[in-house]
Structure 1
């Protein structure tokens, strides 16, 4: 199921709307419409009341996109590829292939988002102050209220994102500070610990003040844990190439094999996925997930060629093992075929990579 829709490009970056954003947008529009001034339009007659509320909500999320574009500008400047920017329930997320390892680069990239929010907020509030000083009646106009609302929220957004709760912007700035003084893995773990502390603290405050803070705290805590784990995996695997980890004695299956025969073969060999070969020609790849889609009574009649995946995700033997792990995670597959110059050389699985990590952990302990 498609969970997001693309609405355009900015700086060559696809901008997407997640389904959760489409649910939260009317809520924000309604809140702005019924809230008392100066943060809402309670005293405005319908339908203008709701038009202003919807406009303010759109401008708010436009500010969020600009915040993310601030991160993305520096990320692209430092050679990081941005897959997309997605607006969802809790704001916006820039999907980056990786975070710059250089502490200075990461610090600048992390601070760029809050800086954009401060610039937007400061400009709108100064504009309000200047116009209301020259034209006192301006304070009674709708533009004044819109500028005030969006300006104030951007200032709050910038401050909130600078809280050192990893993996928020402030947490990434904190990691860049730690990374100047210790290894990158240790810096990440330190920043993640601080982030978890703030998440717990925020959750406790949420119990007393606002339940939304509990939900935000939950996502910060999970995000900090996942980021620490992901960084540990990436940095550790960078010491190896796919050739060091892959299995070279690869079991293959024929496209004419029945699904039942394939299932028996899987049970015997204890592997969950296999390249499909016809002679020396690679035709595709088939996994237990593909088999499960076939009804038991149809497995004797159907062939591997009927269910195999022809869109093969592969790598080369000299690829860094960390990049192979990212490729597996990004495509949500269990294994990669290792192909050099059109020839199948081996297979590397998620299990192979995790096993290597565990060996490294044992050696380090």
Structure 2
């Protein structure tokens, strides 16, 4: 099931809306419509009330998109590739192939998103300030009293929320922007993995305190704090683990970890014969080769889709994956992990000059990571 829909491209980056955003957008509009002045429009006639509220919800997530585009622009300028930007219930996510290890580049990328939010907020609040009554102080006008004009109130709301987004995002809670800023600063004085662990630790502690505070105030909306705390804690843990894995696999060549004794099968073999082969050689996936030419790959997952009574009549050619994803002997293990993750597969065929020379699996990568962890203890 597709959970996101693409609505266009900006700077060559696919822009997607997650189903959670599509579900929550009307809720945001309804909240703005029923809220009193300052953060709502319930003092306006019904048609205008809902028009302004829906506009506020759409503009809010447009600003989130601009925030993510700020990150992406700096990343692209420094040679990174952005696969997509997806807008979720809690904000936006830029899907990047790899976060640069250079602390200065990561600092620029991390600060660029909040910087965009701050610029938007500052510009919009400056516009609102131009309409300040002569007998009212600027502080009172922007922070204490609701803006009377509904259209100007919309501008004020989006500006104010963007300033809050800036402040929230620079909190040093990894993997939020502030956490990445913290890691980039720490990485200038210690190893990248130690900096990641330290920043992740701060992020987890922040999530724990936020969760406790949310639990104590659950009756007045603390549930949302608990939910955000949960995502921050999980995100920090996953980012820490992903960094450890990438560092463990760095410098490891495919030729050093691949299985060189490759057992292949031919496309005319029946599924029943394939199962016998799997039992005999104890492998869960096999390249399919006819007359020395690779045709695809077949795995136990493919076999499971065939009913038992049909396994003598169904051929490997009917169930194999024909789009063979391959890797070269001199590629590194990190590239193999990225390919497996991106394509949701468990093994890659290794080729050299159109000849299959080996096969590398998730198990091979896991073994390398376990050895690396044991050596670092």
* 2:203 and 2:232 in contact (8 A); partners too: yes
State the Cα deviation string for residues 272-295 of structure 1 (Å, max 9, x = none).
Answer: 111011120101001111111112
1:231 corresponds, among 240, 243, 251, to 243
> How is 1:1-365 mapped onto 2 (pairs within 5 angstroms)?
1-133=1-133, 139-209=147-217, 210-365=222-377
Given the superposition, is the C-alpha separation of residues 184 and 25 from structure 1 closer, same or farther in structure 2, using an over 3 Å criterion? same
* 2:71 and 2:110 in contact (8 A); partners too: yes
Structure 2: tracts of 5 or more residues without a match: 137-145
Q: CA deviation at 1:47?
A: 2.1
The answer to which of 260-269 and 315-324 deviates more is 260-269
Q: CA deviation at 1:140?
A: 2.8
State the Cα deviation string for residues 5-46 of structure 1 (Å, max 9, x = none).
Answer: 111111111110011111111111111111111110111121
The DSSP-based 3-state class of the residue aligned with 1:333 is coil
Output the CA distance in 2 between the equivalents of 1:267 and 1:90: 47
Output the CA distance in 1 between the equivalents of 2:322 and 2:43: 61
Structure 1: tracts of 5 or more residues without a match: none
Output the CA distance in 2 between the equivalents of 1:134 and 1:17: 44
- What TM-score do you get using the length of structure 2 for normalisation? 0.94
* 1:132 and 1:139 in contact (8 A); partners too: no
The DSSP-based 3-state class of the residue aligned with 1:336 is strand
Output the CA distance in 2 between the equivalents of 1:252 and 1:131: 76
Output the CA distance in 1 between the equivalents of 2:55 and 2:275: 57
Output the CA distance in 2 between the equivalents of 1:361 and 1:26: 48
Q: CA deviation at 1:131?
A: 2.6
* 2:38 and 2:147 in contact (8 A); partners too: no
* 1:14 and 1:84 in contact (8 A); partners too: yes
Q: CA deviation at 1:132?
A: 3.1
Q: CA deviation at 1:264?
A: 2.3
Q: CA deviation at 1:89?
A: 1.3
Given the superposition, is the C-alpha separation of residues 298 and 134 from structure 1 closer, same or farther in structure 2, using an over 3 Å criterion? farther
State the Cα deviation string for residues 77-117 of structure 1 (Å, max 9, x = none).
Answer: 11010001001111100000010100010011001000100
The DSSP-based 3-state class of the residue aligned with 1:252 is coil
> How big is the alpha-carbon RMSD for the aligned residues of Structure 1 and Structure 2?
1.5
The answer to which of 264-273 and 180-189 deviates more is 264-273
State the Cα deviation string for residues 122-152 of structure 1 (Å, max 9, x = none).
Answer: 111111011335899x943222111111011
- Runs of 4+ in structure 1 deviating by more than 6 angstroms, as ranges, are none
* 1:75 and 1:109 in contact (8 A); partners too: yes
Who is 2:139 aligned against?
Answer: none
